[in-house]
Structure 1
Amino acid sequence: MTSNVTAVSYGLNMTPAGLEQLRSVLASHGAELQSESSAGDSRYGVQVLDLALPDAAGLAALRRAVADAATDGFDTALVPSGLRSAARKLLIMDVDSTLIQQEVIELLAAYAGKREEVAAVTEAAMRGELDFAQSLHARVAVLAGLPADVVHSVRKEVKLSEGADQLVAAFKAAGHTVAVVSGGFNQILEPIAGDLGLDYWQANELEIVDGALTGKVLGAVVDRAAKEKYLREWAAAEGIALEHTIAVGDGANDLDMLGAAGIGVAFNAKPAVRAVADAALNMPYLDAVRHIARV
């Protein structure tokens, strides 16, 4: 039984030779080209190839083959046509180093003179070498005693990833749902979520007592299991099938969420995440996700 799939290629340098290599790989795995079109803008190119596969089971093998081909200058996402044509979709994103350019815990730690120390722990956690919850508690502990006003200072330092606002606006304008879930902090995320008009958002809560950070977080840590849980909860609340969800993240704590979504996109991610995600986006423009999802 045939299966309809779309190959969406995107990158800064989409050469004719590279695209021809991609077509060759697709054809060698039985993918029949139905139509082809171009998109993108002055920042990056997009090539869309609508395909018919001999059977749905071949999608995983085809993804591996396309990833192994390693075409220079662009990446390719293989997206089930049912997701691209769905009337309602849910986009869920990580925050630090995905929706925004920075790691907030590192910005906070700079005020305690501990930025490099905390950055090293963050990198190890994102590579999957440390338990995320334990590493978060250790990193937050260095903030103990800082005045709560540092939160406001850090808010001013945060910058959205390039194209993040366009991506959210496009999904919202098309009637889709947009959510973010973060191992960061509500005190930073709340105004961002409000400005972007996000439908759902969740992060950790820094404990503040007598106008100072205590070096603790309140309640359970938002870890990789929690991220998947929120994806499932929010999709169910909106009546959106999991196969019509798109998850985007960069670190090991995003893996469960990326795996549960209809398609998981590794955004400038750690090698361990790129190796298992359905698709990789290795350029700074987050709005390329809209081409993957056809929004």
Structure 2
Amino acid sequence: MSRGAVFFDVDGTLVPGTSSGQHLAGLLGHVAALREAEAAYDAGTMTNQEASVIDARGWTGRTPAEVTAYLAGLPLVTGIDATVAWCRAHNLVPFLATLAWDVVGADLCRRFGFARACGPSLEVVRGSYTGRVLTHFDEWGKRDFARSAAAALGLDLSHCAAVGDSRSDLPLFADTGFSVAFNATPAARAAASARADGPDLRAVLPHLEHWLTTSS
């Protein structure tokens, strides 16, 4: 039986200074529209569903293979491999709890060994994206995914941790037993159990180590 689980955010956490959506939109040709939508979401004046609809339009006619190829250049913090390995060595299951498109989560799971990921999905017809959202996802969906993933391991979220940076992580921070705000906004820092900064994800490991020591 697993000792616990750790849920990592993607955009702003594993992807520094930008988002996977903006990286892809820059290559797909609609980055200006997405930046405006993401800023509105961060400010609380637009829902994630509204932002996703705007982003999805820019994917029209592209293929999953094209997008996966673009993800090879996705900017990432260092230390992801080592952090996932640390979790596994301590009998903690690493998950991705994210609002990034499901193709992003699937790629990061394949590359780094995360157990599973959540996220919204885009409609594909005859091998190409239609520009429509197939399934929406929001910050409450992230929390519900974490609850479900933990329950499948026989765990309660009080025995799990979360690592994130912004508004979409707040419901998960509230429900997990421990949380680390990594390169985070003031609101996320205020809501978290601990805070860490820097270009390397391993900065969160002393905090997770302390959590394990004090919660056992």
Query: Which TM-score tier does this pair reach, normalised by the shorter chain?
Result: 0.7 to 0.9
Deviation at 1:127, TM superposition (A): 4.0
- Alpha-carbon separation, structure 2, partners of 1:251 and 1:183: 11
SS of residue matched to 2:117 = strand
Q: Counterpart of 1:137?
A: 53
User: Retained in 1: the 8 A contact 2:6–2:94?
Assistant: yes
1:17-39, Cα deviation, whole Å (9 max, x unpaired):
xxxxxxxxxxxxxxxxxxxxxxx
* RMSD, matched Cα: 2.1
Match of 2:139 in 1: 224
**Larger % of strand: which?**
1
Q: Which residue of 1 aligns with 2:178?
A: 263
Between 238-247 and 140-149, report the one with greater CA deviation: 140-149
Cα distance in 2 for partners of 1:291, 1:127 equals 31
CA contact (8 A) 1:111 1:150 kept: no
Aligned position for 1:272: 187
TM-score (norm 2): 0.85
Residue 194 (1) aligns with residue 96 (2): no
Equivalents in 1 of 2:109, 2:74: separation in Å?
13
Amino acid of the structure 1 residue aligned with 2:190: A
Q: Is the 8 A contact 1:125 1:252 kept in 2?
A: no
Which residue identity is paired with 2:174? G
- What secondary structure, in the 3-state scheme, does the structure 1 residue paired with 2:12 have? helix
Q: Is 1:177 paired with 2:56?
A: no
What SS class does the counterpart of residue 182 from structure 1 fall into?
coil
1:120 deviates by 2.6
After superposition, the Cα gap between the structure-2 partners of 1:255 and 1:159, relative to the gap in structure 1 and judged at 3 Å, is same
- Show structure 2 runs of 5+ residues with no match: none
Matched position secondary structure for 2:140: helix
Inter-CA distance 236–147: structure 2 relative to 1 (3 Å threshold): closer
Aligned AA for 2:61?
G
**Is 1:244–2:146 an aligned residue pair?**
no
Q: How many residues align?
A: 208
CA distance in 1 between counterparts of 2:56 and 2:151 reads 33
Deviations 1:37-79 (A, max 9, x none): xxxxxxxxxxxxxxxxxxxxxxxxxxxxxxxxxxxxxxxxxxx
Q: Which has the higher helix share?
A: 2
Instruction: Give the aligned partner of residue 106 of structure 1.
Output: 22
Question: How is 1:42-121 mapped onto 2 (pairs within 5 angstroms)?
Answer: 88-101=3-16, 102-121=18-37
> How far did residue 151 of structure 1 move?
0.4
Q: How far apart, in 2, do the equivalents of 1:280 and 1:217 lie?
A: 34
User: Does the aligned pair in 2 maintain the 1:104–1:154 contact within 8 Å?
Assistant: no
SS at match of 2:100: strand
> Quick one: distance in 2 between partners of 1:168 and 1:159?
18
CA shift digits 1:65-104 (9 cap, x unpaired): xxxxxxxxxxxxxxxxxxxxxx812100111222233512
Aligned to 1:31: none
Rg (Cα) greater in structure: 1
> Which residue in 2 is equivalent to 1:235?
150
State the alpha-carbon separation in 2 of the partners of residues 136 and 267 from structure 1.
24
Higher relative contact order (CA 8 A, sep 6+): 2
Q: Following TM superposition, by how much is the alpha carbon of 1:115 offset from its aligned partner in structure 2, in angstroms?
A: 1.1
* Alpha-carbon distance change, 244 to 288 in structure 1, aligned in 2, over 3 angstroms: farther
Query: Any gaps of 5 or more consecutive residues in structure 1?
Result: 1-86
In 2, distance between residues paired with 1:192 and 1:242?
23
Is contact 2:197-2:203 (8 Å) kept? no
Say if 1:127 and 1:251, in contact at 8 Å, map to a contact too: no
- CA change 1:227–1:98 in 2 (3 A) is same
Q: Matched residues in 2 for 1:267 and 1:129: separation?
A: 24
1:256: Cα distance to partner? 0.5
Correspondence for 1:126 = 42
- Is the 2:60–2:130 Cα contact (8 Å) retained in structure 1? yes
